[in-house]
């Protein structure tokens, strides 16, 4: 079974999340070998990180977790289109920065 939020949905690269109130984006999911362009497998090899996922926060900080916990909340599924629709911003999909 892959990484999942408490509500049962799978965690994917590009998901917008809140961890303890801090906004961020999922940038890799090691279990599935799912990596964003900014965090390639060559720099985060599955041999060293066989399970877990990493969040990059809007302030640039990163957090690697072995599994989701009660502090992790899904804000929006992968891709930033939902955010741009809500805010009326032009669609810039470069890095999902808030």
pLDDT tens readout for residues 31-61: 989 999 999 999 999 899 999 999 999 899 9
pLDDT band at 3 (very low <50, low <70, confident <90, very high): very high
Backbone angles phi, psi at 84, to 5 degrees: -65, -35
**Token pair 């809140």 in the structure block, residue:** 18
CB distance 52 to 64 below 8 Å: yes
Reported as a single tens digit per residue, the pLDDT across 48-96 is: 999 999 999 989 999 999 999 999 999 988 755 444 444 444 433 444 4
CB distance 98 to 33 below 8 Å: no
How far is Cα 81 from Cα 14, in angstroms, rounded to an integer?
A: 11
Reported as a single tens digit per residue, the pLDDT across 6-29 is: 989 999 999 999 999 999 999 999
């Amino acid at each position: 079974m892959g990484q999942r939020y408490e509500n049962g949905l799978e965690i994917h690269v590009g998901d917008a999340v809140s961890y303890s109130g801090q906004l961020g984006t999922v940038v890799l999911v090691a279990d599935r070998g799912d990596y964003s362009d900014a965090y390639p497998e060559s720099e985060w090899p599955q041999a060293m990180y066989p399970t877990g996922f990493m969040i990059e926060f809007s302030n640039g900080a990163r957090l690697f977790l072995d599994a989701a916990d009660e502090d992790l909340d899904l804000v929006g599924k992968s891709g930033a289109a939902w955010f741009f629709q809500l805010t009326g911003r032009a669609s810039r999909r470069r890095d999902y920065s808030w």
